[in-house]
Amino acid sequence: MAIGWYLVVSAIIFCIGAVGVLVRPNPLVILLCLELMLNAANLALVAFSRMWGGSDGQVFALIVMVIAACEVTVGLGLIVAIYRRRLAIDVDELNELRG
Amino acid sequence: MSAVLFFIAAIVAIAGAFGVVMLRNPFYNVLSLVCHLVALAALFLLLRAEFVAAAQVVVYAGAVMVLYVFVVAYVGGADESVTHFTGGADRPGALRVLGPLFGVAVAVELCIALLGTALKGISGKGAPYVLGFGTPKQIGTEFLTTYLFPFEVASLLLLVAAIGAVVLARRRRGLEPDESLDARLRPARPAYTGTMAEVAGLVAHGDGEAGR
């Protein structure tokens, strides 16, 4: 398959993730949609790495995976902290971070 | 053959992505993200990125998703306060309508730009395959020579994120109602021991704890 088709799939997945971030009010699902967007970027990086025949894109895809893991860890920690305080888990009602 | 595999993997990946956005139960969201990640790993394999595909399955679909499942189970996905806002009483309606419209517009624009491009590299099948492309050996050599600094920064970032998550999610005294401590400080009192609440008839005899 031509590289362009991989990029099209990546663009579609990215847009689905962006719509999810805009539409869903649950922070857990918003984190999942962020994962979708990061994975779309990963797919584009790996496709370009195949296009040029160099492995730099794959190295950065792995680094993006590290970043995603960090983001998930901190985000889920925040959600657990919010849940402990018996607040509503809804981004429309959570508009301050003050402890 | 590779075209058939590509279309199967791409359709599963896009369907998984739709499932993440559309499904209402957070458990199903996580499971469809796992589906999506496995399909994406198949796409990586088609692009001959074997190590990235393996890391995707092991690290992402294995470890990170387990973290998600635990948090969804802890927070209690389906039944409380996570799904009640589908009606969107105080949610701005414009966002619900304009968000998908924006997404479709960006997707169409990107597809037109990608498919209608005159760039030769994008419409080709990529560079000729050389043996050893995308193997752990090559990736590891890149990481420890050319990209040593990003590698170290990434490991430091992981450490900071792990400590930060522990600090954020730990149990803090005073921030939340601590029922166990409360019960220990106020021992149960037998009935008819003359509390003011019993005299005033606020508390039924026999359940001395209830009125406080």
Transcribe B34-48 into DSSP letters: HHHHHHHHHHHHHTT
The alpha helices in B80-130, defined as continuous H runs, are 93-115, 120-123
Rounded Cα distance, B55 and B52, in Å: 5
Rounded Cα distance, B212 and B203, in Å: 9
Other CB atoms within a 10 A radius of the CB of residue B136 amount to 12
- Find the CB nearest B158 among A26, A60, A66: A66
Instruction: Write out the two tokens for B105.
Output: 């517009």
Nearest-neighbour CA in chain A from B182: distance (Å): 17
Q: Measured between beta carbons, which residues in chain A are less than 8 angstroms from residue B162?
A: 73
Reported as a pLDDT band with limits 50, 70 and 90, residue B211 is very low
- Residue of chain A minimizing CA distance to B13: A13
- What are phi and psi for residue B153, nearest 5 degrees? -65, -40
Q: Measured between beta carbons, which residues in chain A are less than 8 angstroms from residue B49?
A: 46, 49-50, 58, 61
Q: Would you call A31 helix, strand, or coil by DSSP?
A: helix
Q: What is the CATH number of domain A3-84?
A: 1.10.287.3510
- Residue of chain A minimizing CA distance to B2: A1
The alpha helices in A24-87, defined as continuous H runs, are 27-52, 56-84
Q: What is the pTM of this model?
A: 0.80
List the domain boundaries for chain B.
1-81, 132-170, 174-212
- Determine the pLDDT at residue B147: 93
Q: What are the CA-CA distances from residue B3 to residues B6, B10, B21, B42, B47 (Å)?
A: 5, 10, 27, 12, 12
Reported as a pLDDT band with limits 50, 70 and 90, residue B174 is low
Spatial contact of B64 and A72, defined as CB atoms under 8 Å apart: yes
| Residue numbers of A between 23 and 82 with CB closer than 8 Å to B | 23-26, 28-29, 31-33, 35-36, 39, 42-43, 46-47, 49-53, 55-56, 58-63, 65-74, 76-81
Cβ-based contacts under 8 A for chains A and B: 257
- Find the CB nearest B147 among A50, A59, A80: A59
- Find the CB nearest B60 among A15, A16, A65: A65
List the domain boundaries for chain A.
3-84
Q: Which of A33, A38, A59, A95 to mutate to test the interface with B (most CBs of B within 10 A)?
A: A59
Which amino acid makes up residue A24?
A: R
Helix H or strand E encompassing A5:
helix A3-23
Spatial contact of B130 and A53, defined as CB atoms under 8 Å apart: yes
Q: What are the CA-CA distances from residue B153 to residues A63, B145, B184 (Å)?
A: 10, 14, 47
Q: What are the CA-CA distances from residue A59 to residues A41, B141, B163 (Å)?
A: 13, 10, 25
Angle at A75 between CA B181 and CA B174, to 5 degrees: 20
ipTM: 0.91
Q: What is the CATH number of domain B1-81?
A: 1.20.120.1200
Nearest-neighbour CA in chain A from B72: distance (Å): 8
Instruction: Write out the two tokens for B77.
Output: 């996905």
Quick check: B90 and A29 CB within 8 A? Answer: no
pLDDT tens readout for residues B188-209: 666 666 666 666 666 555 444 4
**For each of chain A's 99 residues, which pLDDT tens digit applies?**
788 899 999 999 999 999 999 888 888 899 999 999 999 999 999 999 998 888 889 999 999 999 999 999 999 998 888 888 777 777 777 777 665
Sequence-separated (6 or more) residues with CB below 8 Å from residue B198: B191, B192, B205, B208
Rounded Cα distance, B13 and A9, in Å: 9
